[in-house]
């Protein structure tokens, strides 16, 4: 939960198997808007990101017992969730911390690569997107923008090359989606489409001058779905809008 509570329940009867508080375990302070990242199950462990110092920024708990299996890093926490991905042919945990984007071995033993990314006012909240087998898209709001990086194996990890970087997409607290080479997401509160290969802006869309889009878009492959609401929160119900992708 937002206060750092983590636990396991029996799916059959709801009985609590174990619980802990990840902030207390990591001796970490909570973020301004609370813990927001979802847990990740990897190799029988539950991986979470409390953001503690002393090698406790990332903690893995045994899924069956709740005992700490390993911990790593000293990064500040973000609002993003850890992801299990395969990049450059190697399985790894993709982390978007409060300081950087990085790949961590699934046992937490080693950082495979990193790409610095600090946002003022310290809000990295979106989920990165893996493009193909060796590229990653990252974006944040508050004027920071977006970038695509490319990873190349160098024998001891991966070298990182910045493919492009601009301010055409700024995911403040939402995440983008990738479809057939194009990235669809919110440039702050305006829906935008950019070319994943070049970062070129293809189009922008706002339902009306008196409404805004306030959640991550979703696609079924043919349509792009977004939820809108009136700028005056007291008036009107949220509306579902569907756009043709072709």
Question: Considering the chain, what is the average pLDDT of its residues?
Answer: 94
Q: In this structure, are residues 124 and 96 in contact, taking their beta carbons and an 8 Å threshold?
A: yes
pLDDT digits (tens, 9 = 90+) for 103-150: 999 999 999 999 999 998 889 999 999 999 999 999 999 999 999 999
In this prediction, residue 211 carries a pLDDT of 76
In this prediction, residue 213 carries a pLDDT of 85
Q: Strand, helix or coil at 118?
A: coil
pLDDT higher than 70, residue 11: yes
> Residue 207 phi/psi, 5° resolution?
-55, -45
Q: Which residue has the higher pLDDT, 1 or 198?
A: 198
Question: Which pTM was predicted?
Answer: 0.94
Strand partners, 228: 213, 239
Estimate to the nearest angstrom the gap between the alpha carbon of 13 and the chain centroid: 32
In this prediction, residue 170 carries a pLDDT of 97
pLDDT higher than 90, residue 238: no
pLDDT digits (tens, 9 = 90+) for 32-84: 999 999 999 999 999 999 999 999 999 999 999 999 999 999 999 999 999 99
Residue 46 is encoded by which pair of tokens?
């539950």
Question: Region 13-42: what's the mean pLDDT?
Answer: 97
pLDDT over 70, % of the chain: 97
Q: Per-residue confidence at 186, pLDDT binned at 50, 70, 90? A: very high
In this prediction, residue 212 carries a pLDDT of 80
pLDDT higher than 90, residue 210: no
In this prediction, residue 189 carries a pLDDT of 87
In this prediction, residue 236 carries a pLDDT of 65
Q: In this structure, are residues 145 and 137 in contact, taking their beta carbons and an 8 Å threshold?
A: no
Q: For residues 182 and 78, what is the distance between their CA atoms, to the nearest angstrom? A: 26
């Amino acid at each position: 939960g937002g206060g750092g509570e983590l636990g396991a329940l029996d799916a059959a009867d709801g009985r609590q198997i174990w619980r802990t508080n990840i902030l207390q375990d990591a001796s970490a302070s909570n973020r301004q808007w609370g813990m927001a990242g979802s847990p990740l199950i990897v190799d029988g462990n539950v991986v979470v990101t409390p953001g503690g110092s002393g090698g406790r920024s990332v903690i893995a708990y045994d899924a069956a017992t709740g005992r700490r299996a390993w911990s790593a890093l000293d990064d500040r926490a973000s609002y993003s969730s850890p992801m299990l991905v395969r990049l450059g042919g190697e399985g790894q945990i993709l982390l978007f911390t409060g300081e950087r984007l990085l790949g961590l071995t699934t046992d937490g033993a080693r950082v495979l690569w990193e790409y610095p990314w600090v946002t003022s006012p310290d809000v990295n909240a979106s989920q990165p997107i893996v493009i193909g087998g060796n590229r990653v898209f990252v974006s944040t709001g508050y004027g920071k923008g977006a970038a695509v990086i490319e990873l190349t194996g160098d024998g001891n990890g991966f070298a990182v090359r910045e493919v492009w970087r601009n301010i055409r997409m700024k995911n403040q607290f939402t995440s983008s989606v990738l479809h057939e080479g194009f990235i669809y997401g919110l440039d702050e509160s305006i829906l935008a489409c950019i070319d994943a290969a070049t970062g070129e802006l293809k189009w922008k869309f706002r339902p009306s001058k008196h409404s805004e889009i306030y959640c991550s878009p979703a696609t079924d492959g043919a349509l792009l779905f977004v939820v809108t609401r009136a700028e005056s929160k007291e008036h009107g119900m949220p509306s579902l809008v569907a756009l043709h992708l072709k």
